[in-house]
C-alpha cells in the first residue's frame, strides 16, 4: 500500500479507525476495527498490500464484501 496510511480520526466525538489507500488513482478509505488498527498503525504501509473483494452494484458503485491486510 505505498502512499497509504492507517489513522485514527473522530466523528461526532466517536473514534474512527481507518485505512487510506489509492485505487485506480483515487484516494479511498475504509473503516477498520480498533483491534486491526492496533496491529498495523505503527507499521510501514509499503510493507503491506490490501486485498479487497467487491461486488459491483448499480450505478457502478461497489460494495466491499471482504478485505484483508497481507504482508508483501
**Contacts for 66 with CB less than 8 Å, ≥ 6 apart:** 52, 53
d(CA 6, CA 40): 7
Contacts by 13-18 with C-beta closer than 8 Å and gap 24+?
none
Q: How far is CA 16 from CA 26, 34, 38, in A?
A: 21, 8, 12
- Which tens digits make up the pLDDT trace of 12-30? 777 789 988 888 888 888 8
38-65 pLDDT, tens digit each: 998 888 888 888 898 989 989 988 888 9
Helices (runs of H) and strands (runs of E) counted in the chain: 1, 5
- Give the number of domains in the chain: 1
What's the domain range around 28? 5-71
Task: Output the pTM of the full model.
Answer: 0.70
Amino acid at each position: 500500500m505505498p502512499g497509504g496510511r492507517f489513522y485514527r480520526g473522530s466523528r461526532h466525538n466517536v473514534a474512527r479507525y481507518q485505512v487510506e489507500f489509492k485505487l485506480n488513482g483515487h484516494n479511498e478509505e475504509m473503516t477498520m476495527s480498533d483491534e486491526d488498527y492496533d496491529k498495523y498503525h505503527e507499521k510501514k504501509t509499503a510493507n503491506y498490500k490490501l486485498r479487497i473483494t467487491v461486488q459491483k452494484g448499480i450505478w457502478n458503485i461497489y460494495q466491499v464484501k471482504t478485505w484483508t491486510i497481507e504482508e508483501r
